[in-house]
Chain A
């Protein structure tokens, strides 16, 4: 995989003399690939944004993340536990079928089915009832004012198409043979999929029959993954591609100095963090046998205090990161300022480890992606070095996100210690409490779906439930505060590292819209 990507990357870099494409062909690159086209396989920002070209949800989010109508023209809360969605009429899927209420009901079942990575998009006990062909009722067991907050990335699929192509079951992230829906796309969106070779190239063409008014002027869009930082930058500067992400932190000045491109930066909502397996009786990748050292809060705190987050910020991120005490961006939680990180203190960490019964440290395996977040592998390497000073020997396993996610995400949860990034899809703390701190089952359906390490405290779950139902902003923040206080200050559920800065490399020939959730949506791109 890496080899093929590198070949591609090299090819892209040397193709300096390639004929400039017709003016309206938009080419872009990302460090990782766009693997499965199944919109329920991978709950990951980049992939979700890519799906957004061909697929649409009932709602959408605008350039400022505001919720706007999508396939649902409007909706109303008939009573606190019954929502009514009025579907857009005259919408057709790319294969010509009409979009109807059955498709919504079908998609609601499919997104919660085994194999889906997005089971938390809809409460597991919510019922979808077709009223007529263009009206759907959602019946809840308890009020949920933020029901539709993450529905912009719950994409609606065609029932008939899925049934005809044996694609009713979602493709799990660990699937080794892609299902039909993983290599074909049939949505209602502004772009139609033209061709897709995972890890190589994906091509879209505008959908002439789209119901909306296009805000782009493109005639073709081509995506290629370019894993190598240097090659990706070279491709942007040479005009080979119009957009890429991320611009490696060491190259930002150089891209800005070039006549062809510039860097769009901004704060990102994603938190990069380290997680521990706190669920299994014994760590899968460790020399400690018969018990799980991460079950001891002192060990977790020792790891926390071993990490010099400012060194990572200054040296690895070159200042383009904001160290974080919480798993949520300060932009999304007003009381973030009241939380402090535990200080970096190797002596304290050693003492904690000794108290916990590991005076000489221990060995643990660490999983890390190397093409997902800004400088992800370099951060992991830095963590390895820092933990070594406290006597912890970390065996680093850094791999491309396709393999990484298949290993660590539900249902395998095959990791002892890992680095991950998380943006709450609802832009709200409830998402964090539900996904990251919620007690999960073995297979990880519903609550705690992305709680890979299995942190669990019923008290936090109870608070999360109260947060969901609470409408008063102040009371709600108080509940969230309590939950974070338990989960982070008292129990060190995770080691939050920082919020990375957005760094898009954009050709001066194009205009794109940058959203703080780092979704790149090329249906807003315009090219000279």
Chain B
């Protein structure tokens, strides 16, 4: 009888020490896998450059396109610097209001990114919270949350975002557009993206909650919220990280789509989508640069982030390792 008892005592010790060792081992593995994929490295560099450039926009951009006083209409529709007729002041040319496109892209990217990140953050918090809750409590609560999620899944996220945008603008009025557009977009994206997180987390939670460590934690009387946060959450977060990465790109696209459709940011505070919408009108009239550069930036960013996300999914998937 002493052997099982000894086992029972001895086993927890390596288990407690293991995480540290395992993390270190995994770190190096991830690094190796990262460095071995040239595409991933390139994507990561592009992502970092774009994110860095846009976050530091006030420092690196030559002008502030959000300040209408600095924009001169007489500078409008200038082609990029290297094209005939270009002006050395404007690297990528100007738009129809005389805004420097390079600055507008940096600032616009920043707006798109902030909205994307904040939207995804809301979606993740909401989705993870609901997923944990539904998975843990089960029964009717679970059924209810999951049916709501099912219903929402039958609509494309962009439609939900449009709906929320419409309802909010209906309530606060269009006149407040400039002040509320930001918050409304974040809310729209947050509320349309939570489902994926909730579903993933709920599934994992249901598996985890019957495992011994959770049962043990319950037995010694740790309150449920604490168990969920400290024990269940870390074990279900892996897939969420992957969804998160890919969702950031998706959220930026959603923001761009909404702005392109004219329900997002007003032209006085352009995001990438707004810039593309403005440029679209000039696409066939010879002023290709107004739409081309914001479009390329958006495409490059989304592609890069998706490639990084793809790699992350493979790297974190033990079955592929």
Given contacts A233-B284, A316-B73, A381-B268, 6 further A-B contacts (CB under 8 A): A2-B263, A3-B262, A314-B74, A315-B73, A384-B268, A396-B268
Q: Is the CB of A230 within 8 A of B284?
A: yes
**What's the tally of chain A residues with a CB closer than 8 Å to chain B?**
41
> Which chain A residue has the least Cβ–Cβ distance from B262?
A2
Which of A250, A312, A365 is within 8 Å of B282, CB to CB?
A: A250
In the assembled complex, 17 residue pairs joining A and B whose CB atoms fall closer than 8 Å, in A order, are A3-B263, A6-B261, A230-B282, A230-B283, A233-B284, A248-B285, A254-B284, A311-B73, A314-B74, A315-B77, A378-B96, A382-B73, A385-B73, A388-B68, A388-B69, A396-B178, A396-B267
Interchain nearest-CB distance for A161 vs B (Å): 34
| Chain A residues with CB below 8 A from B282, complex form | 230, 250
Q: Is the CB of B281 within 8 A of A250?
A: yes
| Chain B residues with CB below 8 A from A253, complex form | 285
Cα separation A394 to B175 with both chains bound (whole Å): 12
Is the C-beta of B280 less than 8 angstroms from some C-beta in chain A? yes
| Chain A residues with CB below 8 A from B68, complex form | 384-385, 387-388, 394
Chain A stretch 1-26: residues in CB contact (< 8 A) with chain B: 2-3, 6
Interchain nearest-CB distance for B258 vs A (Å): 9
Stretch touching chain B among A182-190, A397-405, A442-450, A484-492: A397-405
A388 with B67: in contact, given A229-B281, A230-B281, A311-B73 (CB under 8 Å)?
Answer: yes
Is the C-beta of A277 less than 8 angstroms from some C-beta in chain B? no
Interchain nearest-CB distance for A407 vs B (Å): 8
Cα separation A311 to B69 with both chains bound (whole Å): 15
> Which chain A residue has the least Cβ–Cβ distance from B96?
A378
| Chain A residues with CB below 8 A from B76, complex form | 315-316
Interchain nearest-CB distance for A411 vs B (Å): 18
Cα separation A387 to B162 with both chains bound (whole Å): 33
Cα separation A365 to B73 with both chains bound (whole Å): 21
Cα separation A88 to B287 with both chains bound (whole Å): 55
Which residue, A228, A377, A381, A389, has most C-beta atoms of chain B within 10 A? A381
Which residue, A230, A248, A386, A403, has most C-beta atoms of chain B within 10 A? A230
Q: Is the CB of B175 within 8 A of A385?
A: no
Cα separation A251 to B287 with both chains bound (whole Å): 10
| Chain A residues with CB below 8 A from B261, complex form | 2-3, 6
Cα separation A367 to B173 with both chains bound (whole Å): 13
Interface residues of A (CB under 8 A from B): 2-3, 6, 228-230, 233-234, 248, 250-251, 253-254, 285, 308, 311-312, 314-316, 365, 367, 370, 377-378, 381-382, 384-389, 394-399, 403, 407
Interchain nearest-CB distance for B232 vs A (Å): 40
Interface residues of B (CB under 8 A from A): 67-69, 71-74, 76-77, 96-98, 162, 174-175, 177-179, 261-263, 266-268, 280-287
> Which chain A residue has the least Cβ–Cβ distance from B77?
A315
| Chain A residues with CB below 8 A from B285, complex form | 248, 250-251, 253-254
| Chain A residues with CB below 8 A from B69, complex form | 385, 388-389
Which residue, B96, B162, B179, B280, has most C-beta atoms of chain A within 10 A? B96
Q: Is the CB of A316 within 8 A of B266?
A: no
Q: Is the CB of A381 within 8 A of B267?
A: yes
Q: Is the CB of A385 within 8 A of B71?
A: yes
**Nearest 7 Cβ contacts at the A-B interface:** A388-B69, A388-B68, A250-B285, A385-B68, A229-B281, A2-B262, A311-B73
> Which chain B residue has the least Cβ–Cβ distance from A396?
B268
Q: Is the CB of A399 within 8 A of B268?
A: no
Cα separation A312 to B287 with both chains bound (whole Å): 18
Interchain nearest-CB distance for A408 vs B (Å): 11
Q: Is the CB of A403 within 8 A of B267?
A: no
| Chain B residues with CB below 8 A from A389, complex form | 69
Which of B174, B268, B286 is within 8 Å of A403, CB to CB?
A: B174
Cα separation A295 to B261 with both chains bound (whole Å): 38
Cα separation A367 to B96 with both chains bound (whole Å): 20
Cα separation A315 to B73 with both chains bound (whole Å): 7
> Which chain A residue has the least Cβ–Cβ distance from B279?
A230
> Which chain B residue has the least Cβ–Cβ distance from A365?
B175
Interchain nearest-CB distance for A396 vs B (Å): 5
Cα separation A386 to B287 with both chains bound (whole Å): 23
